[in-house]
Every structure is written in C-alpha cells, then in structure tokens.
Amino acid sequence: MDEASCLLGGFQGSGVETSMMVLVKALAHAGYSVLAQREYYSNITGRHSYILMRICSSREARSLSYPVHLIAALDSETVFTHAFELTEGGLLVLDRDLFPRKLREVASMEEQLRERLERRLASLGVGDDIESLVEHLASHAGVKVVAFSYRSILSSVGEKRRIPPTQVNRYLSSIIFSAVASLISLKPLYVEQALRSHFKGREELVANNMAVFEEVSARVREAKASLELEQPKLKWERLLVASGNDAVAMGKVAGGLRFQSYYPITPAADESLFLERLSYDESTESLLGPLLVLQVEDEIAAVASAIGAALAGVRSSTTTSGPGFDLMVEGLSYAGMNEVPIVVTYYQRGGPSTGQPTRGSQSDLFNAIFAGHGEFSRVVISSGDHLEAFYDAAEAFNIAEKYQVPVIHLLDKFLANSVTTMPFPDLDKIKVERGNVVAGGEGYKRFSLEALVPPRAFLGDAIFWHTGDEHDEYGRITEDPENREKMYRRRIEKMQLIRDELPRERKLTVQGGSDSNLLLIGWGSVKGVALDALEALEKEGVRGAYVNLKLLWPFPGEEVKKLLSSAEDVIAIEHSYGALVGKLISMELGVKVEKSVVKYTGRPITFDELQPALKKILSGVEKRVVLKHGA
C-alpha cells in the first residue's frame, strides 16, 4: 500500500490531540506526507473526539478518505462509533479491559447515534458489548484485532520509570500513537525526535513516553500485526508540520504583521495564541521587532483597535469566526469608507448562530462578500491548502495597503484544525508593498480625488481627519452632492483597479486538463479532495480540471467566464447547502451552475464519497449530490 487512512479516538481531554501531533511529526521524520484533521465537540472534557488522517508514501496527502485501515481507540465510544469504518482486513487497536463494556453504558454518546448503532447491531445479530462487536468484525470483516490491557502497560511503565500512580494516567494517549507508529514500523528514533520536539526538550517526558512506546511495540509484535505501508519515496529534507492556524500566523509574520487583536472564538483563537507565544519570545523580538497581540473585550473592539492601529501606520489584523465577524461588520464598513487597510482573517464554522461551533463549513461566502451597509470596496480571498494560506496571509497586507481596502481572508475550520506536512515556503515570493504612502506635509489631502488610490499618511506625520460620514479630500464632513458623487465613485471604482491589476494566479488556479469538458469549481479547503477525485477519475478515462477560486471578491469574472465557456459539465463543490459559489457565478456572469456536490454535516468531504458523487452527476443520474458521511 502506498497510502493509508488511520483514525485515533478518545474522549476530549485525554490527549488525542497530543497523540496526533507526535504521530504526524514522527511520520514526517520518516518522510511520509500526512494530513490529519481533528473532529471534536464544543466541550472541554468527556465528549468523543477523533483524528482522521491520511498517510502517503509517494505523493502529497491532500484529502481524507474512508474506510480506514487502522483504528487506535482509547475508549469504548471510539470503538462503537467508528468500528464499521474499518476496511476489510483492517486493524483495530483497543484496550482489552473494555471488552465487557456495553453500548448503553457509554454515557457521553449522543442519543441519536446510540439508537442508530443499536439498530445496526440488532440487525446484524451482534451483541451490544465491545467483545461481541470485535468478534463480529474479526469473523465477518477480517479485522485484525490488537487488544491488550492499557492499564497493565501503564503500570509497568510506571514502575520502570518511577512515575507516581496519580500521574501515570497522563500517558494513556501515548499508547495510541505508539500503536500506530509500531504498526507502521516507524523507527524508534523518529518517535523519539517527535517527542523531543513536542515536549520541547523535557527529557523526562520524552523518556516516559518512549517507555510506553517500547511496551506497546512489544505487544504489537506479539500480536504479529502490521500495517503494510510502503517506505516513503518523497524527496524532501525539511518541512513544516503545521495546522492551518499556524500557517496563517506564520504568513502574517512574514508579511509584517505588527498588531493583532482578537476575542477568543473557535476555530480562530489558536492563530492568535500562536502569535502571542511568538511575540514575547526575545529572539523573535530582536529579529522582527514588537508584534502586539491584544485580547480585547469583544469583536467590535477587535476590529476597531485593528483599524486604529492601521491608521497609525501598522500592518494590523484581527481574527475571528462567523459570530464575531457579524459583530465586526459596522467596523468593516467604516474601514471601507475611510479606506483603511486591515486584514480580517475569517475562519468559518457551522452556523447559523452558534450552530456547530467546532465543525466545519463554507456557508459564510456571502457574509464575507456582502456584509456591511453601504457600497464600498473590499477584497475577499481564500486559500486551498496550508501553503497557499501562508502566502495569502502575507499577501493580504499588500492588497490591503496597495488599494487601501479591508481584506477578508476567508478560511474554514477544516483548514484551521488540520495538521499537515507542509513544504517549506519560498520566502523570495513574499513581498512587502505598502502602496501610496506619503509623509503628509502642507495641504495634505488624505482623500485626494486625483487618483483612485489616495496618498496615505500615518497618524503622527500630518494633520488630517477621518470620519465615517461622507467627507471632503481632507477628511472633513460634507454632504455636498457633487463631492459625494466623486468620493463615492472613487471608492467603488477601486474594485476595477484591483480586478485589472491582480495577477491571474492570485485570482484562481487551474489544475488538471484545462482543455477538458469537465470543470470542477470550488474554493478553500475543497481543493485537495477535488484534485484527488479528479486524479481517480482520470484513471478511469474521465479528464477534468479543478478551478480553485482564490479571489472571491471582486469576482474574477473574465477569467471564470473563459473557463466556463469551454466546459460541458461544470460542478460546484462546497461545504454548504446552497453551493454558494455557483450562485456567485450566476450573479456575476449570468451563467447558471446547475450541478453541485455539497455537504453540510459539519464534517469534511472525503475522497471516497466525492468520486462516486461526481460519477453520478457525470452519468446524468443526478444534478446535485448531498454528501453525509462521517461521524
């Protein structure tokens, strides 16, 4: 096998995330490409969370897929919830002590799922306890069960390493990454290095975890189980292991961010946390200068203080999700009116309202593009993967400053919370272009009507005014109709300038055969899965291309129109109900996009479901497929 899907599960607070980080780093040391996505509840302790990951030995992991080849379970809820996701002959690692646990005893499981599982077990004639389920899987699906007592591992490690009994439970989650690493036959050195990096050199923790790894490896050997994954053939020496939040934060730093405000919200806050950790690091400060990260009282203050900072001449940004963005909208309209370059990083999650706070969605496309009273120029960009997110986060400041507009960088939870092995960015590509900046001076006109983008001075350099009211060239209130018409037009006509000047690769990228009749179109986190589905279709003789829309607003109509005109089948793919990107195209080009694949369960579109959905559409059976798979 040259790729595998794995699932690691446990209750929230049990260290599943740590397991993921260590495992991804260990796999990276080995040279594999990995994409790992975290599914979790809006909860701190107790509810079920899991990691779905794809490990590839000869190409970039860019989508997730079921069924899984390996499940490593910390608890019975993981086994019950995901057991049927195992492929024929898959591996199931679990705690032998869980065998007597019954489905109805899993108190944290939601009623709907329990009822579905009860029905399923009953229809298969399988008892509702772990042991019966495991036996069934082994006998009917060829599942290889690797069961050992987790408690005995911990107590033996505890004794060997003299860990106090009250603390030994902390190493529970080490069992699952150890199991996966052992089943893939990762060298212990890789695991050790990953631990050292994760625990930042706290050798005691590294040694304790390695002791768990050794114990677990021994049990895996005893069970004569292994996951036959080919040795990695990818040729890289160094890479980054980063989440989408991390990639954006790094991009912002590269782009010259100096002020970031935020009010905590999932899935955005981790980005600010990253920056906060970094900003007070002395070596960072001496290399880059002060980067102020300010937790404020609400999102209104977040956008307002970011605007204030931008007026003082600072590259500033704020980060949020749907509910917070809604609160920022009045400020956004102010930034439009006063031509203030700010960057709002908008990580979508499941709405409306608090919706599904920790699940993914792309349903805020129109909110990002249209929210705000009055007409003004704004730019909305999106990123198809982690590396794109890095470059785009840096470039967002250039766009904002060159055109003096608010820029919304629209991302989502799937990207934010997935961790991947990311290629090293090419820093030569990062430019810092500040646009029309002047020192002010006598008679300075901040809102000069001479050019579409007026000269920008910073507070402290000159005397000039800002107001959300309509203003004259100096920034003083005036309601004069002629001035109104000129100012209004200048502010809006910038959009055309942006459309004209941005290079094509900032507007969209096309991958696959661009001469083909099939065009998949999407934006953001659907890129990887769309490309994988296309590649699979191509093996079956269907050629197609994927259009990754990067500039969502102003809409790159010319470019999209050209692409659409030569395609027979145009299919929009999106994590939403409405396939909003298709509606956007209709609005801008008057062309109806009638075919779509959508998903709005809050779980990501996976490769295994997208490919057949596309086939269904191509064969004319359906025009619209709604995907639903995934716990």
Partner 1 sequence: MGLKPQDYRTQLWIDWCPGCGNFGILSSLTLALSELSIDPKKLVLVSGIGCSGKIFQYVNVPGVHNLHGRSIPFATGIKLSNPELTVIVHGGDGDLLGIGAGHFVALGRRNVDVTVILHDNRVYGLTKGQASPTLPYGVKTKALTHPNIHYAVNPIALALASGYTFVARSYALEAKHLKEVIKRAVQHKGSAFVDVLQPCPTFNDVHTPEYYKRITYYLDERDWDPLVRNPDEREAEEKLLKAFKLALEEERLALGVFYQNPHVPTFEERLAERFKTYPRASPATSPIGRESRTLLTPETFQKVFRDYIVETLQGY
Least distance to partner 1, CB of residue 132, Å = 42
CA distance 218 to 201: 26
Token pair for 122: 């009953």
Matching residue, tokens 């608090």: 354
Looking at residues 169 to 208 of the shown chain, list those that interact with partner 1 (rule: CB under 8 A).
Answer: 187, 189-190, 193-194, 197, 200
CA distance 399 to 395: 6
Give the 3-state secondary structure of residue 9.
strand
* Contact flag: residue 483 with partner 1 (CB under 8 A): no
Q: According to CB under 8 A, which one of 75, 215, 246, 532 is a site residue for partner 1? A: 246
Q: Rule CB under 8 A: say whether 250 interacts with partner 1.
A: yes
End-to-end CA distance of the chain: 25
Residue closer to partner 1, measured from CB, 487 or 529: 487
C-alpha–C-alpha distance, residues 477 and 474, integer Å: 9
**Among residue numbers 206 through 245, which ones bind partner 1 (CB under 8 A)?**
232, 236-242
Binding-site string for partner 1 from residue 424 to residue 463, where x marks contact by CB under 8 A and - marks none: ---xx-xxxx------x-----------------xxxxxx
Does residue 59 bind partner 1 (CB under 8 A)? no
Question: What's the CA gap between 189 and 210, in Å, rounded?
Answer: 10
Nearest distance, CB of residue 311 and partner 1, angstroms: 6
Q: Rule CB under 8 A: is residue 610 a binding residue for partner 1?
A: no
Please state the closest distance from residue 282 (CB atom) to partner 1, in A.
7
Q: Please provide the DSSP assignment of 319-331 as one string.
A: EE-HHHHHHHHHH
**Residue ranges in 260-279 that form contacts with partner 1 under rule CB under 8 A:** 261, 278-279
Name which position in 291, 545, 610, 627 contacts partner 1 (CB under 8 A).
Answer: 291
Give the contacts of 253 (CB within 8 A, at least 6 positions apart). Answer: 275, 278, 288, 291
- 598 near partner 1, judged by CB under 8 A: no
Amino acid at 31: G
Q: How far is CA 37 from the centre of its chain?
A: 8
Q: CA dihedral defined by 89, 90, 95, 101, rounded to 10 degrees?
A: -80
Question: Positive or negative CA dihedral for 334, 337, 339, 344?
Answer: positive
One-letter amino acid at 215 equals E
In the complex, least distance from residue 251 CB atom to partner 1, rounded to whole angstroms: 10
The nearest distance, CB 626 to partner 1, in angstroms, is 37
Nearer to partner 1, 22 or 495 (CB): 22
Segment near partner 1 (CB under 8 A); pick from 148-156, 254-262, 582-590, 602-610: 254-262
Q: Which stretch binds partner 1 (CB under 8 A): 84-92, 159-167, 422-430, 484-492?
A: 422-430
DSSP class of residue 232? P
CA-nearest of 236, 242, 246 to 32 is 236
Residues 14-33 that bind partner 1 (CB under 8 A): 25, 28-31
Minimum distance between the CB of residue 239 and partner 1, rounded to whole angstroms? 6
Chain residues 369-398 in contact with partner 1, contact rule CB under 8 A:
394
Q: Which of 115, 375, 450, 469 binds partner 1 (CB under 8 A)?
A: 469
Alpha-carbon span 585 to 572, nearest angstrom: 10
Q: Can you name the residues that pair with 546 across neighbouring β-strands? A: 511, 520
Q: What sign does the CA torsion over 413, 415, 420, 424 have?
A: negative
Binding mask 545-584 for partner 1 (x = CB under 8 A): ----------------------------------------
* Binding status of residue 479 toward partner 1 by CB under 8 A: no
Number of residues that bind partner 1 (CB under 8 A): 91
